[in-house]
């Protein structure tokens, strides 16, 4: 059987959920036994989002092979439960960079380099390179049809449709059916115009996925079919859902994947969604609730911590608990009194990653509050580093340990720049990116959470624990609970005598799945529930 290609475009407005549509389709096809690859094409000219402001782009998702990618890849991995690669993320910047490097090396033999065919050929090559060993390739085109920066991608997939058999490709257009309060009716005209725009660029969608606040009646589907040249049964409604994880089940009721398989000539198969249905049922019917403070630098845009938020939700699902996140700006926790006021009613504290010195003093106070009050604490990357610095200053007697900028000239640089980053700060460095091994210490708290001692976790950092101070910190009660066996890099720390205090240099949130919660997040939620029980027994 030849590989099938599905292209998902968006119209009318941005943020309609193309990524969730792609991820849901991937889950539904995988549930039918098909091998699926998913990729995202982003029109921006940055090579990747690694240097972009979190307030503009949201979180940077990191793949196992070390690519800094769009956050939609996180949705793909969580839904399809497969580790993606750098080939799953393509930007206009990457495409142009590849073409220009080839031109400078004489790869075009002195010919004039143009959008067509050179840029579009490069895009098509990036579509094909993920197709090996899979049944279906799902490609999401970022942005909205009509955006000037996305035209080269639309042109490339227009050409691609004629390079494969008609039954091997399908265009799905995600669009909006708005509801006007004044007339109290749904309106199809924006979708008609969006499809017309797409048709004008040489692409006829075979299916429409219509986002709507209200159910779309059959007569409206018939109208859309008439004006958009799409069969009525291929017009799928996608209503708002309380949880993203309910979307695949809602689309399954619309027979979305069955219709995709029919259009692609794939054999009809009964899906196995039992584990997904059980997960959604646990999410919808929690038996308890805990509040966990997320103390971060970029909380004004919650998407900056999207994977952390989702991983906390997964941890709650594991224990039939609803996790309520209390968003706390680290800039607001400068004094111990402020920490007590903002964190006094939470059952757990999480300090995520970040870059730069702003807000780190507040993270130190959050770690101190958790340490002194026995509140469950999880520090991720920068959050671990802040916990180490706080402990060094206030417990180990290392006054002046690290300034907030990690100045190596401080008396005690307990966190220092990685050796391979020396001299590279001005050029951005290379950072430690992607999956690296970690060996967990026998008898440690974190070791009890994982099913095995040797693990692989994803990284995104350029500072690390300074082993020079390991013995002194250990004597004071902070121990290394996990290390990279190749470089002896400290990957995880714990506090003696604390009910649950863990800091990790890696980013566990990137590997959490709704039906397979990450051990650290499941452990944090369990610890928060236990802390709530202790509070209840003590009458607090």
Which active-site residues does the annotation give?
A: 381, 507, 509
Burial 458-476 (b: 16+ CB within 10 A, else e): bbbbbbbbbeebbeebeeb
How are beta strands 36-42 and 169-176 bridged, if at all? unpaired
CA–CA separation, 371 and 496 (whole Å): 10
Q: If you write DSSP's letter for every residue of 362-426 in order, what string do you get?
A: HHHHHHHHHHHHT--EEEETHHHHHHHHHHHHHTS--TTB--TT--TTSSB-SEEE-GGGTT-GG
Residue 267: CB atoms within 10 Å: 9
What is the number of alpha carbons within 13 Å of residue 97 lying toward its C-beta? 10
Give yes or no for a contact between 395 and 477, defined as CB atoms under 8 angstroms apart: yes
Residue 485: CB atoms within 10 Å: 12
81: left (phi over 0), alpha (psi -120 to 50) or beta: left
**Which tokens hold the place of 344?**
């006094």
338 Cβ neighbours under 8 A, 6+ residues apart: 332, 362, 365
CA–CA separation, 378 and 298 (whole Å): 18
Give yes or no for a contact between 134 and 37, defined as CB atoms under 8 angstroms apart: yes
Helix axes 72-80, 18-30, angle to 10 degrees: 20
CA–CA separation, 500 and 524 (whole Å): 8
Q: How far is CA 23 from the centre of its chain?
A: 12
Q: How far apart are the first and last CA of the chain?
A: 64
Helix axes 151-160, 92-104, angle to 10 degrees: 80
Backbone angles phi, psi at 296, to 5 degrees: -135, 175
Give yes or no for a contact between 460 and 432, defined as CB atoms under 8 angstroms apart: yes
- The closest of 284, 315, 309, 287 to 296, measured between CA atoms, is 309
Q: Longest C-alpha distance within the chain, in Å?
A: 80
Residue 55: CB atoms within 10 Å: 11
CA–CA separation, 433 and 430 (whole Å): 8
CA–CA separation, 178 and 187 (whole Å): 6
């Amino acid at each position: 059987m030849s590989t099938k290609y599905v292209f998902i475009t968006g119209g009318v407005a941005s943020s309609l959920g193309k990524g969730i549509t792609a991820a849901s389709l991937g889950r539904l096809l995988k549930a039918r036994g098909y091998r699926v690859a998913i990729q995202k094409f982003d029109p921006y000219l940055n090579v990747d989002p690694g240097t972009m402001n979190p307030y503009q782009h949201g979180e940077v998702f990191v793949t196992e092979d070390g690519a800094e990618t769009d956050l939609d890849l996180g949705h793909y991995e969580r839904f399809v439960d497969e580790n993606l690669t750098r080939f799953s993320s393509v930007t206009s910047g990457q495409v142009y960079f590849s073409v220009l490097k080839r031109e400078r090396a004489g790869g075009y033999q002195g010919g004039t380099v143009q959008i067509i065919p050179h840029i579009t050929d490069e895009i098509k090559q990036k579509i094909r390179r993920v197709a090996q060993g899979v049944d279906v390739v799902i490609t999401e085109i970022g942005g909205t049809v009509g955006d000037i920066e996305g035209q080269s991608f639309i042109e490339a997939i227009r050409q691609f449709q004629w390079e494969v058999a008609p039954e091997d490709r399908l265009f799905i257009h995600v669009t909006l059916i708005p509801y006007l309060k004044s007339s109290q009716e749904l309106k199809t005209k924006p979708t008609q115009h969006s499809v017309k725009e797409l048709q004008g660029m040489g692409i006829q969608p075979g299916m429409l996925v219509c986002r709507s606040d209200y159910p779309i009646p059959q007569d409206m589907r018939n109208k859309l079919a008439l004006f958009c040249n799409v069969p009525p049964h291929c017009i799928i409604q996608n209503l708002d859902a309380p949880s993203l994880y309910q979307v695949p089940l809602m689309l399954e009721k619309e027979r979305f994947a069955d219709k995709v398989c029919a259009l692609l000539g794939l054999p009809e198969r009964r899906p196995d969604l039992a584990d997904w249905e059980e997960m959604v049922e646990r999410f919808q019917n929690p038996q308890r609730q805990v509040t966990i403070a997320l103390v971060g630098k970029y909380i004004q845009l919650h998407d900056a911590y999207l994977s952390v938020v989702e991983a906390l939700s997964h941890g709650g699902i594991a224990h039939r608990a609803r996790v309520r996140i209390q968003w706390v700006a680290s800039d607001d926790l400068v004094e111990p009194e402020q920490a007590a006021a903002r964190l006094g009613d939470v059952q757990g504290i999480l300090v995520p990653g970040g870059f730069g010195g702003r807000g780190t003093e507040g993270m130190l106070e959050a770690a101190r509050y958790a340490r002194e009050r026995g509140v469950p604490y999880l520090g991720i990357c920068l959050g671990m580093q802040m916990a180490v610095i706080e402990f060094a200053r206030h417990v180990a007697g290392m006054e002046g340990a690290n300034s907030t900028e990690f100045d190596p000239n401080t008396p005690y640089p307990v966190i220092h720049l990685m050796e391979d980053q020396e001299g590279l700060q001005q050029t951005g460095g290379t950072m430690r990116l992607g999956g690296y091994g970690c060996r967990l210490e026998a008898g440690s708290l974190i070791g009890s959470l994982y099913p095995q001692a040797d693990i692989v976790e994803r990284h995104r950092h350029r500072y690390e624990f300074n082993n020079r101070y390991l013995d002194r910190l250990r004597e004071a009660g902070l121990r290394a609970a996990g290390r990279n066996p190749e470089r002896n890099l400290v990957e995880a720390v714990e506090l003696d005598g604390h009910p649950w205090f863990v800091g990790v240099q890696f980013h566990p949130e990137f590997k959490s799945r709704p039906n397979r919660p990450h051990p650290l997040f499941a452990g944090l939620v369990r610890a928060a529930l236990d802390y709530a029980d202790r509070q209840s027994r003590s009458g607090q």
